[in-house]
Structure formats: C-alpha cells, structure tokens
Amino acid sequence: MARPIVLQCDASDYGVGAVLCHEFPGGELRPIFFASKTLSRAERNYAQVHKEALAIIFGIKKFNKFLQGQKFTIETDSKPLLTLFGHNKSVPTMVNAKMGYNSFKL
C-alpha cells in the first residue's frame, strides 16, 4: 500500500515554496522533493492570502506527476485558505481551471 502524500506550502514576501512528503506510521513526515521560486515584482504586490494560494498552486503544478489522480493532504499556515481548501471539500472550479487539471482529489 502506498504511503499517504502531504504537500506542504508556504509563502513569504519574496517567494513561495513547496515540499512533497511521505507520511509514515506515527505521523512522521519525510521529504521527497523541494521546490521554490522567487515572486515577480507584480506577485510581490499580492495580498498575503493570495501569495499563500499561489504557493499551493505552484506546489501542485510543480509536483503534478506525483499528485495527479492521487489523494493528498495540503498543509499550510494560512487560516483563510481553509475556507477554500478545507476538510472534505473538493477543489473549487476556479482553482482547478487555474491549475489546468480536472483530476485532483484532496
């Protein structure tokens, strides 16, 4: 049986980052891949909640080969995003269209 997948995402004033992890028994997370990018001048002007959402979209796009069609958990420190990506919610159509995929399960 495959181990659960966790995508950890975060944003700062100047960049976004994502870590793809496997979850082991006992809740231990072990990183598989890391990715980050510097925000453009325009992206730096985004509200923090939009930067956090951008980090999630960046992580999903970056690791799409591993995530597409798989159930996975997104971890972020952004409380406002819970309304968008909360427990037992499907990916909003707008976000799915932005990512260019229709086969993600969260």
Q: What is the pLDDT of residue 52?
A: 92
CA 15 remoteness from chain centre: 14
- Token pair, residue 82, equals 């819970």
- Token pair, residue 75, equals 């971890």
Q: What is the pLDDT of residue 99?
A: 56
| Residues listed for the chain | 106
Domain annotation covers residue 52: yes
β-bridge pairing 29-38 and 15-23: antiparallel
Domain annotation covers residue 94: no
Q: What is the pLDDT of residue 64?
A: 93
Q: Which residues of the chain have pLDDT under 70?
A: 1, 84-106
Domain annotation covers residue 80: yes
Domain annotation covers residue 14: yes
Task: Print the domain residue range for 62.
Answer: 5-86
Q: How many domains does the chain have?
A: 1
CATH number at residue 36: 3.10.20.370
**Residue range 33-45, pLDDT digits in tens:** 999 999 999 999 9
Q: What is the pLDDT of residue 92?
A: 54
DSSP assignment, residue 43? G
Residue 100, helix vs strand vs coil: coil
The continuous run of DSSP H or E covering 23 comes out as: strand 15-23
